[in-house]
């Protein structure tokens, strides 16, 4: 599931120089076009971390676990970590793919 995000991202990054070369942009402008992507990756990583923390808390609540202290942690051998990690992945994949559609026109 999470590999799909990379497919969408790298499909866009791969064709970006060819698209801008068709508009007669020089190498500097094409290189600068990657800055918004880098900024988005930084912000997205931060937001994904917050979302994962939220998903972990919600999954722990669903299975009836109390919040563990940060020093001792949880017993992750009994915790459904795969459910916590993929809790909203389908919705996020649809959103990330939908944001790529306008850029293809």
pTM for the full predicted model = 0.61
Gap between the Cα atoms of 71 and 5, Å rounded: 33
Q: What is the pLDDT of residues 59-86, one digit of tens each?
A: 888 888 776 656 556 666 777 777 777 7
| Count of structural domains, the chain | 1
Q: Which tokens go with 55?
A: 């998903």
| Residue 91 belongs to domain spanning | 3-104
Gap between the Cα atoms of 23 and 19, Å rounded: 7
């Amino acid at each position: 599931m999470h590999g799909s995000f990379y497919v969408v991202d790298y499909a866009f990054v791969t064709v970006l120089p060819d698209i801008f070369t068709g508009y007669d942009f020089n190498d500097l402008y094409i290189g600068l076009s990657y800055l918004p992507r880098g900024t988005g990756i930084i912000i997205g990583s931060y937001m994904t971390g917050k979302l994962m923390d939220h998903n972990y808390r919600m999954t722990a609540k669903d299975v009836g676990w109390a919040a563990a202290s940060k020093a001792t942690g949880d017993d992750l051998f009994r915790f459904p970590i795969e459910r916590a990690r993929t809790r909203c992945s389908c919705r996020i994949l649809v959103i990330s793919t939908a944001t790529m559609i306008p850029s293809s026109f």
